[in-house]
């Protein structure tokens, strides 16, 4: 397993268990305990886990409390795969709205690298816009609004007004949480409001989210599960050991008629 992927899986195992031992991680990953120690040390340096005697515990601070810059490197290998999978679903010649979030930056990079133009892409965040600026075959629109401190996402009444004046072939939505009970949900009212308008203005929509978001319920409801056509998530979502909280959510997503694409 490549090191970035192993770090991603290690982080998910620690988060799901809350506390996990070196022996258990080594057995699940098929590596030595020395390798596990190095990986946990690397994750601790990034503030993602806390090392304890004989293993590690999950960091109590939720992802929603960390800013964009702090989250940008989390699970980068998974997000790269998700970005490429979404780019493969984008039809040349279409008009695409890209949501804010760390994962959609990887989608933007994949679109730029894939040469799937001509495309018109509207960006709801400054990092997404930066990844697409001056790229051949891509006409970039930056949706107006207030840049949220720490997140570099665009929100507020101006953003909603601009979105209502446009229509899109596809809305690529990032999400803070998804569960069978609450559907798609977000950690802030501002994010939820922007996503609701974007869903109304798009002919089709897909959600891109890593497996850690599945089975989680956030503060602000965005839409019921059936409001989107596809969910693009990573393949570990299907593994009950790696993502136990995801299983009921995936069943509910399937029952709602949402196509699931695994990266």
List domains and CATH numbers for the chain.
Answer: 3-60 (1.10.10.10), 69-262 (3.40.50.1360)
* Tens of pLDDT, residue by residue, the chain (263 residues): 567 667 877 887 887 778 999 999 988 777 899 999 999 999 998 888 899 999 999 886 544 445 555 565 667 788 999 999 999 999 999 999 999 988 999 999 999 997 777 999 999 999 999 999 999 999 999 998 888 876 788 999 999 999 999 999 999 999 988 999 999 999 889 999 999 999 999 999 999 998 888 988 888 999 999 999 999 999 989 988 877 878 999 999 999 999 999 99
Q: For residue 56, which of 22, 31, 101 has the smallest C-alpha distance? A: 22
Task: Reduce the secondary structure of the chain to three states and give it as a string.
Answer: CCHHHHHHHHHHHHHHHCEEEHHHHHHHHCCCHHHHHHHHHHHHHCCCEEEECCEEEECCCCHHHCCHHHHCCCCHHHHHHHHHHHHHHCCCCCEEEECCCHHHHHHHHHHHHHCCCCEEEEECEHHHHHHHCCCCCEEEEECCCEECCCCCEEECHHHHHHHHCCCEEEEEEECCEEECCCEEEECCHHHHHHHHHHHHHEEEEEEECCHHHECCCCCEEEECHHHCCEEEECHHHHCCCCCCCHHHHHHHHHHCCCEEEEC
pLDDT at 65: 46
pLDDT at 262: 97
pLDDT at 64: 47
- pTM for the complete prediction? 0.83
pLDDT at 174: 96
């Amino acid at each position: 397993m490549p090191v970035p992927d192993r770090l991603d899986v290690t982080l998910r195992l620690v988060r799901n268990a809350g506390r996990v031992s070196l022996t258990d991680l080594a057995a699940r990953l098929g590596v030595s305990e020395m390798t596990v120690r190095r990986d946990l040390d690397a994750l601790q340096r990034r503030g993602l886990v806390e090392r304890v005697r004989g293993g590690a515990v999950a960091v109590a601070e939720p992802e929603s409390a960390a800013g964009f810059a702090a989250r940008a490197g989390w699970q980068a290998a998974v997000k790269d795969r998700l970005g490429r999978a979404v780019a493969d679903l984008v039809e040349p010649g279409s008009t695409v709205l890209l949501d804010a979030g760390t994962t959609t930056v990887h989608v933007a990079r994949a679109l730029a690298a894939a040469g799937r133009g001509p495309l018109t892409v509207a960006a709801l965040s400054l990092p997404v816009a930066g990844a697409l600026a001056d790229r051949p075959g891509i006409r970039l629109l930056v949706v107006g609004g207030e840049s949220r401190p720490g997140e570099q996402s665009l929100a507020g009444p101006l953003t909603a007004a601009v979105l209502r004046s446009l229509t899109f072939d596809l809305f690529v939505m990032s999400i803070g949480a998804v569960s069978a009970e609450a559907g798609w949900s977000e950690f802030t009212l501002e994010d939820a409001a922007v996503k609701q308008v974007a869903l109304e203005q798009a002919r089709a929509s897909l959600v891109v989210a890593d497996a850690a978001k599945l089975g989680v319920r956030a503060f602000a409801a965005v839409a019921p599960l059936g409001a989107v056509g596809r969910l693009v998530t990573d393949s570990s979502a299907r593994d009950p050991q790696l993502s136990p909280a995801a299983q009921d959510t995936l069943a509910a997503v399937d029952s709602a008629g949402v196509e699931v694409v695994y990266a």
